Amino acid sequence: MKGDNAVLLDMGPTDREDVTVTREPSTHSWKRTGALLAITMCFAAAASIFFTFHYKEHHHDAEADDLRHTLRQISRTVRAAIHLEGEYNKNLEKLEWNQGVDQYHAEGGLTLDHNEIVIPRSGLYFVYSQASFRVSCHLDQHLDDEDILDSAARKMVHVSHAVKLWSPSYGNTEEDKNYETILHSVRTGCEKKASGNPEDDDKWFGSVYMGAVFNLHRGDRLKTVMDKKFLPLLDDKSGRTFFGVFAL
């Protein structure tokens, strides 16, 4: 029994030594593999950062170039617009549209020629105009007291304003231009307003405004038309009577 036990005890250490010898190379192998893997991941991360940085840098430069190109195009393409202030010319008995005063501006090829706006190129345009009036409101002296008490007995005044178009497509000659009305508006006054100012009392203040979008062509001409009897009633203070066009 002792002999058998001796054999078993002798084999134990031998087995443990064998296990130790066989495990030791395996542990070092995993360490080397882990180190190589870590180095590989570091190189991969560095490469990724490098290429990402250069891609973003290139992409940023491309976006900057696109922005500069867009800004250059915007600066070269000025949207056509014109805004004119009106004034009654007593000598010529007409409404004149003035340049270089108040809020006047003209760009993109729109010009004023012989009191008419000339369209530089075909396209959609918004055309607008406003005329303001100061109309005296008075009672008919032939009315009796009962009629005078009736507010309807006050004389009514109808003021109007229109924008007309001439186009080369109409086929008319320069001497015989046929204009077509494209905007027209009428308002009826008056209503007495006590303002505290003797000059303003017994007057009706009103504006006739109109505006719409039109498909206009190169060379088209726009002008305003107003009944001459209303011209002396025109309120031509700044910002009250104007005429303009802008491209869409």
The average pLDDT across 102-115 equals 92
Q: Over 90: is that where the pLDDT of 115 sits? A: yes
Which residues on adjacent β-strands are paired with residue 221? Answer: 118, 166
User: Residues of the chain with pLDDT > 90: what percent?
Assistant: 33
- Can you give 191-226 as a three-state secondary structure string? CCCCCCCCCCCCEEEEEEEEEEEEEECCCCEEEEEC
Pick from 28-42, 128-142, 227-241: least confident: 28-42
Average per-residue pLDDT in the chain? 75
Q: In this predicted structure, what is the pLDDT of residue 141?
A: 43
pLDDT of res. 217? 95
Q: Let me know: does 212 contact 222? Beta carbons within 8 Å.
A: no
- pLDDT digit string, tens, across residues 236-245: 888 899 999 9
pLDDT tens figures, 155-208: 677 889 999 999 988 876 666 678 999 999 988 776 555 555 655 556 777 889
Mean pLDDT of the region 102-122: 93
- Region 215-231 average pLDDT: 93
Residue 112 has pLDDT above 90, yes or no: yes
pLDDT value at 233 more than 80? yes
Flag whether the pTM goes above 0.75. no
Residue type present at position 94: K
Give the pLDDT of residue 15. Answer: 46
Joined together, the tokens standing for residue 49 give 């950062």
Cα 110 from Cα 33, distance rounded (Å): 78
pLDDT in tens, 56-84: 555 556 667 776 666 565 545 668 999 99
- Segments making up each domain of the chain, as ranges: 1-77, 81-247
pLDDT value, residue 73: 59
Residues 6+ apart with CB under 8 A from 171: none
Q: Domain 81-247 adopts which CATH fold?
A: Jelly Rolls (2.60.120)
In whole angstroms, what is the distance from residue 188 CA to residue 43 CA? Answer: 86
